[in-house]
Amino acid sequence: MEFKELLQQAGIVGAGGAGFPAYAKLSAGADTLLINGAECEPLLYSDYFLLRKEMESVLFGAHAVAEYLHIKRVFLCIKEHTARRLHAQEGEILGYGVTVKVLPNVYPIGDEISLIYQATGRVVKAGNLPVTAGVIVYNAETLYNVALAVQNGAAVTRKWVTVGGAVNEPAVVTVPVGTRVSDLFASLGVTVPEGHAVLDGGPSMGKIIDEEFAVVTKTTKGLLILPESCEAVRAKRLNAEKSAARAETACCQCTRCTDLCPRALLGYPLQPHKLVRTSPQAAKLSPGLVLSATLCCGCGLCASLACCQGISPKAVIDGYKALLARNKLKFVSQWEYPVPAEREYRMIPTERWESMLGVAKYDRLPAFKGELAFPRAEILLRQHIGAPSVPCVSEGDKVAAGEKIADSGEGLSLPQHAPIAGIVHLKKDTIIVNGN
């Protein structure tokens, strides 16, 4: 089987959270491959433990990609604190000729565009794909899954997840894809206190979920329990329309949101303070007025750190992103903008960001609990960017662990596989496997 088809048939997605099908990144023209082990978000340690336990497999996965695309230069990109724990040094040569690149402990350095500049000095033109700058980026866990597919023909059926926040003992575990969050919490003796929310992802970009119904997906990196009163949760409760209405009158045009915007600090023509003052009604009539909103990486610095008026530029921009998506509009530039000289002085230390979000006290190195098993899995048909998977099993079918249960949809898509053996039950947008 051809390498690109192998990755598709294995159902490999961007495990860092974006969910972009891994096979679709395999484009000619790149001379550099970056292994993203930066763990952009605070409180997450899944990639750290993956690198500590399975470094050889991650490096092999990177080697397989590099060999297929004839890439000669591969970097393992990790933050200073991870490098210290792994006893890795800047410029150190690892297996398969992979070079260690140590990144500063700043947020959001794991953002793909920021990572590329920090590691290579190259700027991806605004709105363009990284390969246009000669770079391809894969999360460490994605490459671990590539290794399993190449070496064993294994599909993606398990996930490395950090369980942290307001828990007695944070943990990193590997669980079957489709594991109910409530079952996982129960197995670890974790309860959600009253007045707390559960996030799928990190405190900055993670989404609030209902732990009674949510399941672990291929993009779940962490499950964090945080108090509703902390900024990390408060910022996610904001309504985009109300934020936009308030911003029209409350914004003082201090430009701090733009001054600290990571994409603006790469020279991108993104100015949150101007988007905040743009009339929503004008944007609806002429979406092109807010086209630059698609350049936002959603880091949340503008909302929780920069604004002195309590406005959330991010909430406003998210609303404009939805508007532009409905109109199928995206900012794409053929121009390369210069990187401002002040960038290195405006990057935000992770410790400061944690304090602003109100989560600093929860940043503790978790214990590694290893593999956990569960008797039920609920596999969502849409766990990736693109068309949802299409079931290829019927109600009551008996399936083996690793067996394909859904085919790829049309166009950009991926199949799904049973993480456990059991009996199939079909539900809208979900395939449930009840274990034997």
**pLDDT at residue 243 is higher than 80:** no
pLDDT tens, 124-176? 999 999 999 999 999 999 999 999 999 999 999 999 999 999 999 999 999 99
Structure confidence by residue, pLDDT tens digits, 363-398: 999 999 999 999 999 999 999 999 999 999 999 999
- Rg of the chain over Cα atoms, rounded to whole angstroms, equals 21
- Is there a contact between 161 and 58 (Cβ–Cβ < 8 Å)? no
Instruction: Provide CB contacts within 8 A for 426, sequence distance 6+.
Output: 391, 393, 394, 395, 432
Does the structure show a pLDDT above 90 at 1? no
State pTM to two decimals.
0.95
pLDDT in tens, 197-235: 999 999 999 999 999 999 999 999 999 999 999 999 998
Q: How far is CA 24 from CA 123, 216, 331, in A?
A: 21, 23, 21
Burial class (CB in 10 A: 0-12, 13-18, 19+), 310: exposed
Q: How confident is the model at residue 436 (pLDDT cuts 50, 70, 90)?
A: low
Distance CA 59, CA 67 (A): 12
Cα(232)–Cα(228) distance, rounded to whole angstroms? Answer: 8
How far apart CA 77 and CA 32 sit, in angstroms, is 12
Helix (H) or strand (E) holding 164: strand 158-165
Question: 417 has which bridge partners?
Answer: 404
Q: At what angle do helices 140-152 and 46-69 cross, to 10 degrees?
A: 60
- Residue 195 phi, psi dihedral angles, 5° rounding: 80, 15
Please state, rounded to an integer, the average pLDDT across all residues of the chain: 94
The token pair at 137 is: 């980026």
> In one letter, which amino acid is 173?
V
The single-letter code of the amino acid at 170 is P
